[in-house]
Structure 1
Amino acid sequence: MSPHKAPDSSRRSDRSRRAICDAALSLVGEVGYARTTIEGIAARAGVGKQTIYRWWPSKAAVLMEAFVDMGARAAEAAEADGTAGGGEHGIPDTGDLAADLGLVLRATVDELNDPAIEAPTRALTAEGVIDPALGAQFVENLLEPQLQLYVTRLRAAQEAGQVRADIDPRIALELLIAPLTHRWLLRTLPLTHEYADQVVDLALRGLLVQP
């Protein structure tokens, strides 16, 4: 069977699917994306490699679903034990925009510094540059939903008269996200809570309505 045949998701066992996703994440974390193979994922998951080829077109596709699945499970667990933050829109709205954004950016720093998240995120980011289709999927499934949370929170701040009315929230959010992403991707300097706080402070100087 050709490894590029379209996946048949209707025949997938959820137990096997999760075992494969977990295996892909653990292998990428242990040996890196380049040394992770379909054969290795299959062996770790206890399935035949043809099972993976039936369900996914590539190891990048496996990792993409594994990463999305990991996020969904983490959200379910947080909701179940009452630790989910951010309210209905995912970012807190306490009325204090600086505090709310600082809380979220600090959590982002923690995630990007977590080896379990860092390795697959770097792999998917790099692979998305090479493979435009995968890159578009990465943006649609992982990046854009997170960015829209910032848009929602910044628009709420505009409606409350805190953020300038002439600001485009979709552009403004990049003042918050881009510095963290740049430092994380290039490893120029440590990614810390203190840095996140400084990013929020500097960004809001240009976004807030001045008294």
Structure 2
Amino acid sequence: MVQKSTPAKPAPDSTRRSEKSRRAIYEAALALIGEIGYQKTTIEGIAARAGVGKQTIYRWWSSKGDVLMEAFVDLSERAAEAAAPGRAYEFPDTGDLAADLKAVLRLTVDQLLDPAFAVPSRGLAAEGLINEELGRRYVAKLLEPSLQLYVRRLRAAQEAGQVRADIDPRIALELFISPLAQRWLQYTGPISYEYTDTLVDYALGGIAPPGGK
């Protein structure tokens, strides 16, 4: 009697398993920093929340700061992918600088009002104010790449004669970015489309009356 052979089971896909674990760790890290803050978040806590062993985390990252930073970079990249599927996000250039700035700042308002983004972002930003090394990494990996999009758009506006040639774009962008960040971080007032639209109008139009000194 010939015995039928049993089909071999496919080997577990380690790539899929690793990606599932990585995604669970990202979500756990972001959830914890929002719930208990950066200081109280630990590798052990992230591992328990993600349902993985802490050795799994240490195999990929050397510290909780590395985990949280990468998790937040991933969150930001997914937000950018949602805004521009299949391509790198670029600042809009319709030829109308004010309209383009207002459109991007409205997207920023949407992010800052979305708890999934805002809660971990606020936690990292606040910790970055007292943790110098984390603060530098937060600026280099997350903040500065976004600010450079503004710089490129303002330079294009300079070339089109819409912005004075002697303006430093890197400083000029702070006229609308810094007030928004301060209001959001310090709860000094509500943030809204109307607020950011007004920032753009004030920054581009100035506050002195026509012909005033």
User: Given the two structures, how large is their TM-score scaled by the length of structure 2?
Assistant: 0.82
Q: Which has the higher Rg, Structure 1 or Structure 2? A: 2
CA 1:136–1:33: 2 relative to 1, 3 Å: closer
What is the one-letter code of the residue matched to 2:152? T
Does residue 51 of the first structure (1) align with residue 32 of the second (2)? no
8 Å contact kept, 2:43–2:64 = yes
Cα distance between partner residues in 2 of 1:180 and 1:157: 22
The 3 A distance-change label for structure 1 pair 196 and 90 is same
Instruction: Tell whether 2:131 aligns with 1:131.
Output: yes
Distance, in Å, in 1 between the alignment partners of 2:108 and 2:167 is: 24
Unaligned runs of 5+ in 1: 1-11
1:88-103 matched pairs, under 5 angstroms: 90-103=90-103
Q: Is the 8 A contact 1:32 1:119 kept in 2?
A: no
| Deviation (angstroms), 1:59 | 2.1
The one-letter amino acid paired with 1:19 is: A
Q: Quick check: 1:18 aligned with 2:28?
A: no
Tell me, yes or no, if the aligned pair for 1:89 and 1:152 is still in contact at 8 Å.
no
Aligned to 1:146: 146
SS of structure 2 residue aligned to 1:13: helix
Aligned position for 1:188: 188
Shift of 1:76: 3.0
CA distance 1:40–1:89, shift in 2 (3 Å): closer
Any stretches of 5+ residues in structure 2 without a counterpart?
1-16
- Count of paired positions: 192
Q: How does 1:1-211 map to 2 (within 5 A)?
A: 13-80=18-85, 90-206=90-206
Contact 1:151 1:169 in 2 (8 A): yes
Given that residues 24 and 41 in structure 1 are in contact (C-alpha distance below 8 angstroms), is that contact kept between their aligned partners in structure 2? yes
Task: Give the Å deviation of 1:32.
Answer: 4.0
